[in-house]
Amino acid sequence: MILKILSYNIHKGFTIGNRGFVLNEIRNAIREVDADILFLQEVVGDHTRLSTLETAAQFEFLADSVWSHHAYGKNAVYTEGHHGNAILSKFPILEWKNKSISTNRFEQRGFLTSKIHLAEINKEIVLANTHLDLIQRGRDIQSNIIIDVMTQWNDTPWIMVGDFNDWNKKIQRKIKKHLNVVEAFEHINGKSALTYPSFIPVLSLDRIFINECEVKYAKTLSGGIWRKLSDHLPLYAEIEVN
């Protein structure tokens, strides 16, 4: 069975530099991709100034009637509301958990895991979504936590994605070594995807790691409308689960 997935740091619905609010345009763009599962970072769960939307929860607004199942991990909390990571799925989510992996008071980070059931092949698969620190020391601590969590599912198919802020690929090498997994873009294209900044991507910050399944296709969605939305470009991949 082929799963179409999309990983995207939506920057709370704003363009790079916060010059414009483009959440509706983001919704239209991701609908065109029609992925089975969306992994979103920097998605707002509630915000007093976004009350003009149908719902203040951005993940619900984006999911609408396309992705009927979703999990949200609240990480950064402030006076106006909160934001974090979200997983939107066309398949039933059996369970989910959000674990705090914050290492300092300036960056509130989380590790969102969920389990879905694929009725077509009668199999469960684990999904994980995260957003790591800007500083290497924080990312080192967070990757240790992530490795400990994912080790329990060594024999289970899983997909782990997110904005790892891993411009120097140190975390990528560490995860591959300790979990014995592949990174989708490196496996298919021979190198990690350039995703930041969206208008002229020069840094490789986002990753898709897979275990006990096979990546068939991996592409950065760039050019056109994608350059004008978030500060990151989204990653698209097709994963085979047997």
On the question of pLDDT at 52 being above 50, the answer is no
Band (185; pLDDT cuts 50, 70, 90): very high
What is the arithmetic mean of pLDDT over 204-210?
Answer: 98
What pLDDT, in 10s, does the model give residues 135-147?
999 999 999 999 9
Give the model confidence (pLDDT) of 157-177 as tens digits: 999 999 999 999 999 999 999
Q: Is the model's pLDDT at 54 over the cut of 90? A: no
pLDDT for the residue 231: 96
The pTM of the full predicted model, rounded to 2 decimals, is 0.94
Which percentage of the chain shows pLDDT scores above 70? 96
* Percent of the chain residues topping a pLDDT of 90: 83
For the chain, what is the mean pLDDT? 93
What is the pLDDT, as a whole number, of residue 49?
65
3-state secondary structure the chain: CEEEEEEEECHHHECHHHCCECHHHHHHHHHHHCCCEEEEEEEEEEEHHHCCCCCCCHHHHHHCCCCCEEEEEEEEEECCEEEEEEEEECCCEEEEEEEECCCCCCCCCEEEEEEEEECCCCEEEEEEEEECCCCHHHHHHHHHHHHHHHHCCCCCCEEEEEECCCCCCHHHHHHHHHHCCEEHHHHHHCCCCCCECCCCCCECCEEEEEECCEEEEEEECCCHHHHHCCCCCCEEEEEECC
Q: Which CATH class is domain 2-240?
A: alpha beta
**Predicted local confidence at residue 216, as pLDDT:** 98
More confident residue, 11 or 46: 11
Return the domain boundaries, the chain.
2-240
